[in-house]
Chains A and B, each alone.
Chain A
Amino acid sequence: MNAAQKVHQAVAADSALPLLKVNGLSKLYGPEKGCQDVSFELYPGEVLGIVGESGSGKSTLLSLLSGRCPPDSGVIDYRTTQGTWLDLYSASEAERRTLLRTEWGFVEQNPRDGLRMAVSAGANIGERLMAQGIRHYQQLRAAGLDWLDQVEIDPARIDDLPRTFSGGMQQRLQIARNLVSGPRLVFMDEPTGGLDVSVQARLLDLMRGLVRELDLAVVIVTHDLAVARLLADRLMVMRRSRVVETGLTDQILDDPQHPYSQLLVSSVLQP
């Protein structure tokens, strides 16, 4: 067996194992407020969309998954790059933080929450690298220029503050800031919310390219079924804190089984 075949086999073995295993996850703020009894597995390179109406528990689920809020019950297991399984909420806070700034990323709905608005775009992109111990200014600079280019922002703006950027550019900068550390898993909370449709389309196009190119696993929360159809491989439909239907994106959008999924799909406006 030659080296290329070995690498190929290793990649195949890696993608055959789930990256994230979620079992019986619950967090309730009141009856049917929050999310309960959520179980799923996420594989490397897979994009999972979570759709549902406002208040259905999508964002609660996302903060549980991303280690921001401990669940009432349930387990989240993550397979690290070393191949060992890490129980997210039994791990120490230090381990969880390291994970969040190296192997994971989180794209906030409002880029102002995810960016440091008082420092330049270059410093925003370099922050994760500095946290990982890179102490070489020219390397940080090069990474900044490279990532601005990848997210289609003019590299000449590397020293500008994020508040001088448009909403769409801020969102793209936030994505660059998360992807610079080469994460395997990215959480996105309504990444295209609050952007106008043409900017949305461009951002979606960019995200789809990056996700495929970097083989990212993504959990994306959205109420926009068009976004889900473009990006997601698989969908979970949530309603009143429960997952009512899961399946392949096309399957759910073209042939919804649950009455609520049917309602959701039929209420999309056709221009």
Chain B
Amino acid sequence: MNAATQPRHSPRESRDEAYNFAYLDEQTKRMIRRGLLKAVAIPGYQVPFGGREMPLPYGWGTGGMQLTAAILGAEDVLKVIDQGADDTTNAVSIRRFFARTAGVATTERTPEATIIQTRHRIPETPLHSDQIMVYQVPIPEPLRFIEPSETETRTMHALNDYGVMHVKLYEDIATFGHIATAYAYPVTVDERYVMDPSPIPKFDNPKLDMSPALMLFGAGREKRLYAVPPFTRVTSLDFEDHPFEVQKWAHNCAICGSHDSFLDELILDDQGTQSFVCSDTDYCAQRVNEGRTGQ
């Protein structure tokens, strides 16, 4: 059996005493927590924070890591996802980073985790109210593509002036005949702020709506954080005659046979033979352990 079908749970290790708990110093973590409280109080509003240098480059999840560091407690169980998988470079190194600097237990099993830091995916397994999702966000500003000025976008948010958001969707339909935006699909949070849900596929947008888990978003380079509190309305923007739709596949997962999860396409040989497998490796492994198979 490979790693994908054998999820691991690593118990607490002794932490590296050379670092403060979870790498950041206590005052920085307090500053981020104050920002998070504000973000939770105003769902979808982007709160600036004093971003710190992290020991990895921007774009690799520095924003998410700072948020995780700020909320991490000694008893927490951490799961890190990269492109749905637990065993890719980014996921493995961030998990190992916190195991070393905070000495927390880590897991690949979604139901066991208390904090899930993610890039690109929300787990297929439904979340529960004791869990916190932390998203790594590259560009927090959903209006950026059409309005380069930060002062202007802030005013637009303040005045609820979101007409231009539909210009992008209009362009999609005019060019491709349907809304072709497939990831970072803009949403309205609590009928007020328009928010970029980070580069998750639009397949995951419905999972944000009325989720029992707290959702936190951190952008390291842009130094912004925002949040969706539990049980908050999150609606995806659309047109009346072109309603929001998620991706669908004609195939089932080759490993577990799932027909309703997000599938990755694999090319197996030079003849272009395709195979589709679940992007969420933990979900796939859970199903295999329940005795389900593909093909």
Contacts and interface: CB of A to CB of B under 8 A. Distances in A.
A137 B163 contact: no
Query: Chain A interface mostly helix, strand, loop or mixed?
Result: helix
A137 B242 contact: yes
Contacts of B238: 135
B270 interface: no
Given A97-B159, A116-B146, A137 B164 contact: no
B171 interface: yes
Contacts of A234: none
A93 B155 contact: yes
B19 interface: no
A159 B175 contact: yes
B170 A126 contact: yes
A93 B156 CA distance: 11
B167 interface: yes
B170 A130 contact: yes
Given A136-B241, A137-B241, A120 B174 contact: yes
A131 interface: yes
Interface in B174-226: 174-175
A233 interface: no
Nearest to B160: A94
Interface string B145-164: 01000000001000111011
A132 B174 contact: no
B188 to A, nearest CB: 12
A5 B159 CA distance: 41
Contacts of A140: 170
A130 B159 contact: no
Given A136-B240, A137-B173, A137-B241, A130 B163 contact: yes
Nearest to B175: A159
A122 interface: yes
Nearest to A136: B240
A138 interface: yes
Secondary structure type dominating chain B contacts: mixed
Contacts of B161: 94, 97, 131
A80 to B, nearest CB: 18
- Residue of B166, B168, B171 ringed by the most chain A CB atoms within 10 A: B166
A131 B166 CA distance: 8
A119 interface: yes
A140 B163 CA distance: 13
Contacts of B167: 116, 119, 123, 126-127, 130
Contacts of A242: none
A122 B167 CA distance: 10
Contacts of A123: 167, 170-171, 174
A118 B166 CA distance: 14
B241 A159 contact: no
B249 interface: no
Contacts of B160: 94
Contacts of A159: 174-175
B159 A93 contact: yes
Contacts of B155: 93
A131 B241 CA distance: 17
Interface in A95-150: 97, 101, 116, 118-120, 122-123, 126-128, 130-132, 135-138, 140-141
Nearest to A132: B163
B239 interface: yes
Nearest to B159: A94
The 6 nearest A-B residue pairs measured at CB: A131-B163, A130-B166, A137-B239, A130-B163, A94-B159, A136-B240
Given A94-B161, A130-B170, A136-B239, 11 more contacts: A93-B155, A94-B159, A97-B159, A119-B168, A123-B171, A127-B164, A128-B163, A131-B164, A136-B240, A137-B239, A137-B241
